[in-house]
Amino acid sequence: MEYEIVIGLEIHAELKTGSKIFCGCKNEFGDEPNTSCCPVCLGMPGTLPVLNKKALEYAVKAGLAMNCQISKFSKMDRKNYFYPDMPKAYQISQYDMPICYDGFVNIETGDEMKRIGIERIHLEEDAGKLIHDARGEGSMIDYNRCGVPLIEIVTRPDVRTPEEARSLFETVKSILEYTGVSDCRMQEGSIRADVNLSIRPRGREDFGIRTEMKNINSLRAVERAAAAEAKRQAEVLDQGGTVVQETRRWDDNKGESFSMRSKEEAMDYRYFPEPDLVPIVVEDAWISEIKSSIPELPQRRKKRYIEKLGIPAYDANLITMNKLVSDIFEAAAETCGNPKLASNWVMTELLCRVNEKGESVLNSGLTGEKLGEILLFLERGEITQTSANTVLDVLIETGEKPQAIIEHLDLKIQKDENLIAGKIHEILKENPRAVMDYAAGKEKAFGFLMGKSMTALKGKGHPALVRETLTRELQLYLK
């Protein structure tokens, strides 16, 4: 039977505030376990929470960036459950009055855009982290993450393919990065997605029974998990079985998911309004203020790159995917005055280094202005392509100014004709075989000799001049 896949995502993102959501503990990843905790976030009896205004502002900002309505009046609720990662035995969250609701984002599917509804965005606190002993002898708990502010973004079940699920996760992630509300470091778990998925025979209106896969923390894993779960459900139905409503754990290494527990219903949590916090009242003026602080978002930026700067759509898409990359491109294009050259360098040289060495390249000594300066030297014919790459490497390492790097590595282009001719002469003497091949009409031999000559000139020879001299010297040599 042919099935249609129905997917909705629940995306949890930690907010990049200075302190936690209900206490003054600092909100930072990577501290020694249990050092960023206090009686409030450890849930000691008698302590009282106070809502962090910045966390509320970031939640509203995320909502506005995703075209949501903002609740003028909302409240926090207690979600009761017992698990060792939550010392209070309840999580302060929002139940029936989320701070943001009824929004949408546009995602790309192939060449088209598709609108995905955002049902709600609510504010809540994160739980601690369980670290399971590798020998299976016990578990340790790190409460540093307890009380870290989170937003949960719940989308409508508008997604129809695993690729769209990935695209949706990517789109939401980039909006959160651009607005600066979350650093979205997937490897640190600061953004993670739950995939809710069901299937139904094509053409049917009502939804099938869904399962939920928890805490998936990479774009690729979202796509893979969705594809595998759709396949699993189809096999269950094809064999005459029924899908069980449950929570499943996706194992990305095995490429399989495993049943964790039957899905709990909202009533299992015995939600009630948090008695220790006052309701949240948000005024229009504050909403307007937050709205005006939202920067240009990736999709608009991309459109501007294509229409105003003449960058190909594919390149514009890749560049705007990551805000740091995009910011570097903008500054480089501005400095060198040639957006196409800047985009070529970002697409090839910069992204290649990011792939090799990781995102740290983007937080190194490199700035867009300095990349633009390298491109200016290149455009003015003062350094070669090879030298420009050397300058970029040193720049990433040291953050030095390109001008200084060029001077102390002596990278200025070599235009001394006598010196070039001399080096080429040596190369021809050392490579008689290639010279013969050239004489026999083998074009490749010229490229080989050109490469040898450039190496002999330490990559600094003026390319056109070297080419011209090599052609002339070859003629003379073969006479």
- Which residues in this chain contact Zn ion in the complex, by CB under 5 A? 23, 25, 38, 40-41
CB of 374 to Zn ion, least distance (A): 46
> Whole-angstrom Cα distance, residue 101 to residue 122?
8
CB of 145 to Zn ion, least distance (A): 11
CB of 127 to Zn ion, least distance (A): 14
Residue ranges in 130-281 assigned as alpha helix (H): 162-179, 219-238
**Residue 173: what are its φ and ψ, rounded to 5°?**
-60, -45
Q: At what angle do helices 162-179 and 298-307 cross, to 10 degrees?
A: 90
Task: Give 401's strand partners.
Answer: none
Residue type, position 64, single letter: L
Q: How far is CA 13 from its chain centroid?
A: 13
Residue 417: CB partners within 8 Å, gap ≥ 6? Answer: 465, 469
CB of 189 to Zn ion, least distance (A): 19
Q: How far is CA 346 from its chain centroid?
A: 16
When the beta carbons of 33 and 180 are compared against Zn ion, the nearer one is 33
Contact 311/340 with Cβ under 8 angstroms? yes
When the beta carbons of 276 and 468 are compared against Zn ion, the nearer one is 276
Residue 454: CB partners within 8 Å, gap ≥ 6? Answer: 384, 386, 461, 463, 466
Q: What share of the chain is helix, strand, coil (3-state, %, to 5)?
A: 45, 20, 35
When the beta carbons of 76 and 225 are compared against Zn ion, the nearer one is 76
When the beta carbons of 23 and 435 are compared against Zn ion, the nearer one is 23
Contact 330/295 with Cβ under 8 angstroms? no
When the beta carbons of 129 and 425 are compared against Zn ion, the nearer one is 129
CB of 16 to Zn ion, least distance (A): 17
Neighbouring C-beta atoms of residue 319, cutoff 10 Å? 25
When the beta carbons of 40 and 184 are compared against Zn ion, the nearer one is 40
When the beta carbons of 145 and 353 are compared against Zn ion, the nearer one is 145
CB of 144 to Zn ion, least distance (A): 9
CB of 26 to Zn ion, least distance (A): 9
When the beta carbons of 40 and 406 are compared against Zn ion, the nearer one is 40
When the beta carbons of 40 and 457 are compared against Zn ion, the nearer one is 40
CB of 15 to Zn ion, least distance (A): 15
> Whole-angstrom Cα distance, residue 477 to residue 401?
43
If DSSP codes are grouped into helix, strand and coil, which group holds residue 373? helix
CB of 146 to Zn ion, least distance (A): 8
> Whole-angstrom Cα distance, residue 385 to residue 387?
5
CB of 68 to Zn ion, least distance (A): 29
When the beta carbons of 25 and 222 are compared against Zn ion, the nearer one is 25
Residue type, position 283, single letter: E
CB of 37 to Zn ion, least distance (A): 5
**Residue 36: what are its φ and ψ, rounded to 5°?**
-105, 60
When the beta carbons of 25 and 153 are compared against Zn ion, the nearer one is 25
Q: Measure the CA dihedral 339/342/346/348, to 10°.
A: 110
Q: Which two tokens stand for residue 74?
A: 């909302």
Neighbouring C-beta atoms of residue 39, cutoff 10 Å? 12
Q: Which residue has the tokens 């929570």?
A: 247
User: Per DSSP, which regions of 266-342 are E strands?
Assistant: 272-273, 280-281
CB of 282 to Zn ion, least distance (A): 25
CB of 42 to Zn ion, least distance (A): 7
Task: Give 7's strand partners.
Answer: 159, 197
Contact 279/71 with Cβ under 8 angstroms? no
When the beta carbons of 128 and 368 are compared against Zn ion, the nearer one is 128
Q: Which two tokens stand for residue 420?
A: 């070039």
When the beta carbons of 23 and 445 are compared against Zn ion, the nearer one is 23
Rounded to a whole number, what is the distance in angstroms from the first to the last CA of the chain? 77
